[in-house]
Amino acid sequence: MTSPSRVVSFCVFIGGILILANTTTFAQNSNPWPTSGAVGIGTSSPSSNVLLHTWFADEKVHHRLALSTTSYVDFRLKADSEFRINSYDGTTNHAPFIIGPSPGSNLLVLKSGKVGVGLSSPSTLLHLNATNADADLTIAAATAGYAATAIFKSAAQHFNVKIRSDNFFAIEDITASPDRTPFVIEPNAGDHLLYLKAGKVGIGTTAPAGVLDVSGEFYTDTGGNSIVLREQNTGDEGGQLQFDGAGANRYFQFDNFQGNFRFISQDASGASEKMRILNDGTIGIATTAPDPNYKLSVNGKIRAKEVIVETNWPDFVFADDYRLSSLAEVERFIKEHKHLPDIPSQQQVAGQGVNLGEMQAKLLQKIEELTLHMIELQKENRTLQKRLDELEAKEGEKLK
């Protein structure tokens, strides 16, 4: 049943049309109810059942739907062909929908369903075109939840792009089961999270020096951090490469310490340095202070199947001008020093160690000297044997 107020409003609306139709310059003919059924306001030849025709300097066809004395919706068509829908809530006038007169700034909806903003011929379902000054696209929401979700969907694939109000950004693959999120930017991610330049990828840097340049720590296998590449600048320490694992013996690490290359491992007793290579090429194994006078310092035993030492060799012993010490001289030296000439003493070896190459040469020198002494002794023995043979021959003659 129609309420009395609606009946009154309808009568007032019809009455207004009749008054305008009879008073306007372009009023319909004197018959307010023509047999054609067409009513014109502002024109004497309406082309539709109801036609409002105005061309005032600025305004406008203006229709208002009043919801109350302080709340209404306006439909306006201005003389410059601008069309807008306004709403008024009692305090503020809103214009949520405007179509401008310029083809480059209008909103266009084609019968094919394509929507264009800022252009007259959209080529996709939603086509946006703007000058540099107005090219921003802003999607905003309340302070909680996702500000925007873009869904890219086909028969076989389904991706979501999510932006949350706390600066969380994610690309989600919901084709798989369960859903996967291969790309995420968390809040406070910092500047230059991912930077592409001239075929190079920079993470944390805008000037990648190689195909992949990571400024910061790099982890693989988040379950156990099996490989960790850490950028560390804490005074003496530089970058680190760490191979991590589970259990007490859980990692092995290479790092830069004061410009030196260190090898560190951890066992049940804790982490300790196993080897160090100094920046001058000196190597220390099981020691943090390799002797700078030697290229290799080992704090422990060494076992090898073969060791090749390149050093001078004592062939000079066989030279004609070599002075061979007599056995009597050697005897006196041994009685006085308790070791062979040119051989280090026990105290020297305990304090300074032994040069293997030099010691091998010294031992060979002593063998060569002993060989010369044996040759001389053999000569003396032959001489003595000859004299003995001669004496025995003479004694034999006497006995005859």
- Distance CA(337)–CA(27), nearest Å, equals 143
Whether 46 shows a pLDDT value over 80: the answer reads no
Is 276 in the same domain as 327?
no
Percent of the chain with pLDDT over 70: 62
In this structure, what token pair is assigned to residue 236? 């003496």
**pLDDT tens per residue, range 110-141:** 667 788 777 777 888 888 887 666 666 666 66
Q: Is 131 contained in some domain?
A: no
Q: Any bridge partners for residue 159, and if so which?
A: 152, 173
pLDDT band at 222 (very low <50, low <70, confident <90, very high): low
Does 214 or 5 have the greater pLDDT score?
A: 214
Does 267 or 8 have the greater pLDDT score?
A: 267
In terms of DSSP bridges, do strands 50-52 and 39-41 run parallel, antiparallel, or are they unpaired? parallel
CB-based contact 285:300 (threshold 8 Å): yes
Whether 1 shows a pLDDT value over 90: the answer reads no
Whether 354 shows a pLDDT value over 60: the answer reads yes
Provide the pLDDT for residue 200.
86
Provide the pLDDT for residue 201.
86
**pLDDT tens per residue, range 172-213:** 777 766 777 777 777 766 666 677 878 888 887 888 888 888
Whether 308 shows a pLDDT value over 80: the answer reads yes
Q: Is 391 contained in some domain?
A: yes
Q: Based on the structure, what is the number of domains in the chain?
A: 3
In this structure, what token pair is assigned to residue 25? 């310059």
**pLDDT tens per residue, range 358-400:** 899 999 999 999 999 999 999 999 999 999 998 988 888 877 6
Q: Is 349 contained in some domain?
A: yes
Tokens 């009023």 — which residue?
A: 27
Q: In the listed set 260, 288, 303, which residue is the last one of a domain according to the structure?
A: 303
Q: Is 362 helix (H, G, I), strand (E, B) or coil?
A: helix
Q: Is 39 contained in some domain?
A: no
Instruction: Identify which of 170, 196, 195 has the alpha carbon closest to the alpha carbon of residue 185.
Output: 170
What is the DSSP secondary structure assignment for residue 27, as one 8-state letter? P
- Sign of the Cα pseudo-torsion (340, 345, 346, 349, in order): negative
Q: Is 293 contained in some domain?
A: yes
Q: In the listed set 303, 333, 363, which residue is the last one of a domain according to the structure?
A: 303
Residue 285: which domain range?
A: 221-303
In this structure, what token pair is assigned to residue 397? 């003659």
- Distance CA(149)–CA(147), nearest Å, equals 7
- Distance CA(326)–CA(34), nearest Å, equals 155
Is 231 in the same domain as 263?
yes
Is 317 in the same domain as 399?
yes
Average pLDDT over residues 334-339: 94
What are the DSSP calls for 177-217, one per residue? SS-EEEEEE-TT--S-SSEEETTEEEES-SS-SSSEEE-S-
Q: What's at 295, amino acid-wise?
A: K
Helix (H) or strand (E) holding 269: none
SS3 content of the chain, % helix, strand, coil (to 5): 20, 30, 45
Average pLDDT over residues 242-267: 75
Q: Which of 63-72, 194-203, 338-347 comes out lowest in average pLDDT?
A: 63-72
Q: Give the CA angle between residues 367, 369, 373 to the nearest 5°.
A: 115
Provide the pLDDT for residue 295.
92
Whether 328 shows a pLDDT value over 90: the answer reads yes
Q: Is 323 contained in some domain?
A: yes
Whether 245 shows a pLDDT value over 70: the answer reads no
Is 227 in the same domain as 279?
yes
Helix (H) or strand (E) holding 136: none
Is 279 in the same domain as 324?
no
Q: Any bridge partners for residue 29, and if so which?
A: none
Q: In the listed set 248, 276, 303, which residue is the last one of a domain according to the structure?
A: 303
Whether 12 shows a pLDDT value over 50: the answer reads no
Asked if the bond preceding 60 is cis, omega within 30° of 0, the reply is yes
Q: Is 265 contained in some domain?
A: yes
Is 236 in the same domain as 298?
yes
- φ/ψ region of 117 (left if φ > 0, alpha if ψ in -120 to 50, else beta) reads beta
In the 3-class helix/strand/coil scheme, how is 17-69 assigned residue by residue?
Answer: HHHHHHHCCCCCCCCCCCCCCCEEECCCCCCCCEEECCCCCCEEEEEEEEEEC
Q: Is 276 contained in some domain?
A: yes
